[in-house]
Amino acid sequence: MTEARDPVIAVIGAGPAGLRAAETLAAAGLRPVLFDEALRPGGQIYRQPPAGAERPPAQLYGFEAAKATRLHGVVARAAGRIDYRPETLVWSLAEGQLDSVGPHGYARLAYDRIVLATGAMDRVLPFPGWTLPGVFTLGAAQIALKAQGVALGRRVVLVGAGPLLPLVAHQLRKAGANVVAALDVTPFWPKLANLPGMLALPGTLAKGLWYTARNRLAGLAVQANVQALRVEGKARVEALVWRDAAGREHRIACDAVAASFGLRSETQLADLAGCRFGFDATTRQWLPQVSAAGRSDIATVYLAGDGAGIGGADAAELRGERAALAVLEDLGRKVDGARQGVLDRGLARHARFRRALEAAYPFPSHLLDNLPDDTLLCRCEGVSVGTLRDAVGRCEVTEMNRLKALTRIGMGRCQGRVCGQAAAELLARACEADIAAAGRLRGNPPVKPIPFRKIEA
């Protein structure tokens, strides 16, 4: 039987996973529709500067310049076989149809299969002063650097709970910024203990050690096991105060802070698609369930890259290609079994590395244990930690959606993407219950704010 038309395959996100998925589908003779919020392809990791502000890839992406350049060329090399839609947000998804808004207004697409390669964002945890002007995330620091060539300030303090910390420190220093401190809120010893596991990807481990070594040579040693944080300042950041394991407070004068605490997957579209989610106890977040080949529990929905659990850029490339092969296989097309094997073995190595990395950078629970009541938790709606605790005590709240209904936490612009995980952690602490029992916010469209203006465009 011949098909009346080629199936419509949508790919959401033009980062490493989405680009590789689209490339693979195009190579198989399909014409995938590739949606991306950014102006140019590359995702967050290989973000490109806007036209007119280009800089050499080696300067922007360091060791990864060749990979970045290759991915940036995917759409052009496909020569029309990828229907690429930049600056376009997919804001809703249900039962085989997606809604987008972009330069040409609102549009709807009926798809046969969809690959969600929605990526990740910084995991944000609140601490006193975290919303003062001059406080950024590590990801935001990278965006400012890659897109605009902007360092954050004259005296920058970096705070992290993952491998991004030494990398951003290195990148900012290379760009000429004065990084006055790099603080790691996770302990040092698990990194040593998990070195053997990280040997699953010796090249990646070597790069991490190299960044750390270069930072050290430049006089910047990462301070591990930071116990508590506080940003001080009247109208903007003036200093960061931190407490060490021995309970001593240290004060560093600075005019910019970039702080994040690992990454979190962007899962809203998988949620709207109806994918089954499970609680991941290591990263302490709810993730869509996905097979090694990228299949979700819904026949038409595939997941690739950091949106389906953090794996990093290199794994994202493999996962994108692997999910595309699963799509082709499920459509009854012939796929290269040897290539599948190569990808599966590569992904298995990445999985071993990832387990070791996650153990090396455990979730920094301690930062949330003694937060003062007046610390802002939900910045969109201006709700403090104390309001959450009060709602739990007064109204017997035990679950995230009820918490949202009564306190407005997670009800604002970000829809809980920024505050949701911290709110779940604090809710679990306040009810003395397991974090998984706090549940997760029910997703509703739009996944990001959508404008009235585009209606008549």
Partner 1 sequence: MTENLDVDVCITGGGVAACAAAVALRQAGLSVAVLEKRRCGAGASGVNFGGVRQQGRHLAELPLSRRARPLWDDLAAVLGEDIEFEATGHIKLARSEADMAELERYAEAARAHGLELTLLGANAVHQEMPWLGPQVIGASLSPTDGQANPRRVGPAFARLARKLGAVVREFTPVRHAVSTGHGFTVTAEGVEVRCRFLVNAAGAGGGMLAQAFGEIAPVTPLMPNMLVTEPLPYVISRSIGVCGGDVYVRQVRRGNVVFGGGGGWLDATREFARPASDQSLGGMMRTLQVVAGLAEAHIIRTWSGVDGQMPDDIPVIGFSATEKRLIHAFGFSGHGFQLGPVVGQIIAELVTKGETESPIEPFSIRRFGAESSSDSRANRHVEH
Residues of the shown chain interacting with partner 1 in the complex, contacts defined by CB under 8 A? 91-92, 94, 99, 106, 108, 274, 381, 395-396, 401-402, 405-406, 411-413, 415, 444-446, 449-453, 455-456
362 versus 412: smaller Cβ distance to partner 1: 412
- For residue 446, the Cα-to-chain-centroid distance in whole angstroms is 18
Provide, rounded to whole angstroms, the least separation between the CB of residue 101 and partner 1.
9
Provide, rounded to whole angstroms, the least separation between the CB of residue 106 and partner 1.
6
- Give 207-243 as a DSSP string: HHHHHHHHHHHTT--EE----EEEEE-SSS--EEEEE
262 versus 443: smaller Cβ distance to partner 1: 443
β-partners of residue 84 are 34
DSSP state of 437: G
Under a CB-based contact definition with an 8 Å cutoff, are residues 112 and 8 in contact? yes
Provide, rounded to whole angstroms, the least separation between the CB of residue 384 and partner 1.
15
Residues 361, 353: Cα–Cα separation, whole Å: 12
Buried/exposed code over 125-135 (b: 16+ C-beta within 10 A; e: otherwise): bbbbbbebebb
Task: Answer positive or negative: Cα dihedral of 147, 55, 80, 273.
Answer: negative
Provide, rounded to whole angstroms, the least separation between the CB of residue 410 and partner 1.
10
Residues 273, 97: Cα–Cα separation, whole Å: 10
Under a CB-based contact definition with an 8 Å cutoff, are residues 211 and 166 in contact? yes
7 versus 412: smaller Cβ distance to partner 1: 412
Under a CB-based contact definition with an 8 Å cutoff, are residues 14 and 73 in contact? no
Residues 457, 453: Cα–Cα separation, whole Å: 7
Paired tokens of 200? 């699953």
152 versus 403: smaller Cβ distance to partner 1: 403
49 versus 412: smaller Cβ distance to partner 1: 412
Paired tokens of 282? 């290591």
Provide, rounded to whole angstroms, the least separation between the CB of residue 131 and partner 1.
16
109 versus 140: smaller Cβ distance to partner 1: 109
Provide, rounded to whole angstroms, the least separation between the CB of residue 118 and partner 1.
18
DSSP state of 427: H
Provide, rounded to whole angstroms, the least separation between the CB of residue 168 and partner 1.
30
253 versus 395: smaller Cβ distance to partner 1: 395
Under a CB-based contact definition with an 8 Å cutoff, are residues 338 and 354 in contact? no
Provide, rounded to whole angstroms, the least separation between the CB of residue 174 and partner 1.
37
Task: Answer positive or negative: Cα dihedral of 419, 312, 283, 450.
Answer: positive
171 versus 387: smaller Cβ distance to partner 1: 387
67 versus 408: smaller Cβ distance to partner 1: 408
Paired tokens of 317? 């490339």
Residues 304, 309: Cα–Cα separation, whole Å: 9
Provide, rounded to whole angstroms, the least separation between the CB of residue 88 and partner 1.
15
